[in-house]
């Protein structure tokens, strides 16, 4: 196959390519006749041809070369993401076991080694959870997480961790290569900060490689700060701090770790001084950003409070200004609402009460916002109060529609017309919500 590829890439004559192809197919199992056509269609990224072959000859996906490469390997090699799903489904349909021998490259390895992030993520998403190929290693005993970490590919590492089945994650994180390095060793030495990996429950940050270096020691592998090593150190310190319930236990453990470390004390002290300097800068930047975020939320809140107050005032007033008026003195039902027996009036009162409740709750949340200094907490309160405001506006519009219908019920034509006009507001809200959901879905897929 390599010779055929070279002949095609070097634009050899058609006769030579044909001769090589015939020789190649003559040496394979008769059941796999046509696999060359499939592989070349994958190389050309000809999706229609691939799907056509898979429709009638699914067993072609079971073909494997001497080095273990299957059509799925070639799809990963050519970054043919859209065909990965059909190939894997075809393998499932014919009972393919998805088992690879020791040191045999899996489609995962092929994609990771070439830096194809989207291909790797799609493979992890589609791969059968019953297959242990997630944790397969190459000749250097490196799994796909090792390879992604060695390439310093943060998005690839995050994608693998996000979509890999839970039962394989611990093994991926704990596996050691020929040098004894775990993926965490490689990530830290490259300064690649992946919060979800460091915060993974059960992660062992004290496992030693063959040079007796722990992942934490890799921070001191070089004298200079590399990439995001400052953030990594802060995260590791936080994890260690959170895992120690008592101060004396934390201090004792930290002292023991330092004593057992392979890093020279002078080397550690020198770099710790640099770490402390940059940590202070990061903290100052974080505090400045927090202050900026709080100011932004306060400006937004000031506008929203006015809206909430107006809705509360209007709905409160409407609750006592009954449409149709009250029975006058001397009448049997003196002081009672004239239209109270109409169904639309009941809907009017319920929607008004709902609008008043939601706007009042929204106001209360805005008051709570002023008591917090944490932007994350403030953002959650702001989102909740904004949502309440939106629903209260919808309830207020419903109040208008039902109230208008009550007083115009004797003129059905005009009453229905007003109701229809008011209902366009809800149509507008539905369209906006659909657009927001669609945009979020597109952004999530892009990420």
Position 123 scores a pLDDT of: 93
> Phi and psi for 171 in degrees, rounded to 5?
-65, -40
Position 60 scores a pLDDT of: 84
Position 183 scores a pLDDT of: 92
Position 101 scores a pLDDT of: 64
- Count CA within 13 A, CB hemisphere, residue 146: 22
Tokens of 281: 């800068």
Can you say whether the dihedral through the CA atoms of 35, 40, 43, 45 is positive or negative? negative
Position 120 scores a pLDDT of: 94
Q: How many CB atoms lie within 10 A of CB 67?
A: 10
Position 245 scores a pLDDT of: 46
> Phi and psi for 337 in degrees, rounded to 5?
-70, 130
Q: Report the b/e string of 129-165 with b at 16+ CB within 10 A.
A: eebebbbbbbeebbbbbbbbbbbbbbebbbbbbebbe
pLDDT by 10-residue block (mean), the chain, 447 residues: 52 53 55 75 87 85 79 90 91 77 80 93 90 85 92 92 89 91 91 87 84 86 82 81 50 50 72 80 81 80 84 81 60 56 78 90 86 80 87 89 81 86 88 86 72
Q: Report the b/e string of 380-399 with b at 16+ CB within 10 A.
A: ebbeebbebbbbbbbbbbbb
Position 246 scores a pLDDT of: 41
Residues 6+ apart with CB under 8 A from 173: 145, 182, 183, 184, 197, 200, 203
Helix-helix angle 2-9:35-43, to 10 degrees: 40
CA distance linking residue 170 with residue 149, whole number of Å: 16
Position 446 scores a pLDDT of: 67
Tell me if 53 sits within 8 A of 60, measured CB to CB: yes
Position 27 scores a pLDDT of: 52
Pick the closest to residue 406 from 319, 315, 341 (CA basis): 341
Tokens of 260: 């057992």
CA distance linking residue 187 with residue 148, whole number of Å: 9
Position 118 scores a pLDDT of: 93
Domain ranges of the chain: 296-446
Single pTM value for the model: 0.66
């Amino acid at each position: 196959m390599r010779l055929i590829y070279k002949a095609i890439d070097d634009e050899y004559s058609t006769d030579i390519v044909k001769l090589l192809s015939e020789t190649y197919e003559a040496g394979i199992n008769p059941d796999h006749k046509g696999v060359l056509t499939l592989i070349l269609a994958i190389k050309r990224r000809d999706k229609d041809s691939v799907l056509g072959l898979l429709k009638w000859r699914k067993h072609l996906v079971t073909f494997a070369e001497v080095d273990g490469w299957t059509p799925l390997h070639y799809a990963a090699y050519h970054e043919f993401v859209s065909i990965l799903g059909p190939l894997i489904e075809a393998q499932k349909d014919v009972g393919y076991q998805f088992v690879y021998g020791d040191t045999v490259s899996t489609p995962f390895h092929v994609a990771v080694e070439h830096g194809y992030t989207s291909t790797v993520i799609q493979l992890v998403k589609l791969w059968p959870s019953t297959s242990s190929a997630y944790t397969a290693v190459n000749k250097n005993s490196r799994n796909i997480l090792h390879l992604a970490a060695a390439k310093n590919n943060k998005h690839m590492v995050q994608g693998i961790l996000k979509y890999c089945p839970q039962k394989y994650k611990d093994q991926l994180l704990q596996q050691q290569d020929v040098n004894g390095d775990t993926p965490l060793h490689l990530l830290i030495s490259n300064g690649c900060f992946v919060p979800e990996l460091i915060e993974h429950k059960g992660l062992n940050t004290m496992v030693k490689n063959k040079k007796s270096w722990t992942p934490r020691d890799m921070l001191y592998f070089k004298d200079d700060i590399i990439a995001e090593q400052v953030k990594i150190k802060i995260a590791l310190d936080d994890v260690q701090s959170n895992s120690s319930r008592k101060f004396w236990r934390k201090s004792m453990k930290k002292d023991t770790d330092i004593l057992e470390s392979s890093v020279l004390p002078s080397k550690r002290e020198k770099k710790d001084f640099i770490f402390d300097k940059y940590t202070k800068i990061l903290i100052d930047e974080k505090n400045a950003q927090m202050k900026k975020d709080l100011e932004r939320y306060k400006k937004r809140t000031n506008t929203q409070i006015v809206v909430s107050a107006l809705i509360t005032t209007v709905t409160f007033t409407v609750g006592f200004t009954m449409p149709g008026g009250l029975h006058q003195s001397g009448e049997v039902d003196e002081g009672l609402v004239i239209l109270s027996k109409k169904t639309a009036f009941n809907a009017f009162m319920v929607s008004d009460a709902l609008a008043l409740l939601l706007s009042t709750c929204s106001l209360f949340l805005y008051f709570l916002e002023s008591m917090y200094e944490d932007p994350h907490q403030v953002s959650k309160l702001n989102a909740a109060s904004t949502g309440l405001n939106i629903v209260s506006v919808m309830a207020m519009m419903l109040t208008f529609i039902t109230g208008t219908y009550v007083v115009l019920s004797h003129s059905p034509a005009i009453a229905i017309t007003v109701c229809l006009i008011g209902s366009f507001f809800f149509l507008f809200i539905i369209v906006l919500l659909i657009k927001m959901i669609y945009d979020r879905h597109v952004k999530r897929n892009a990420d």
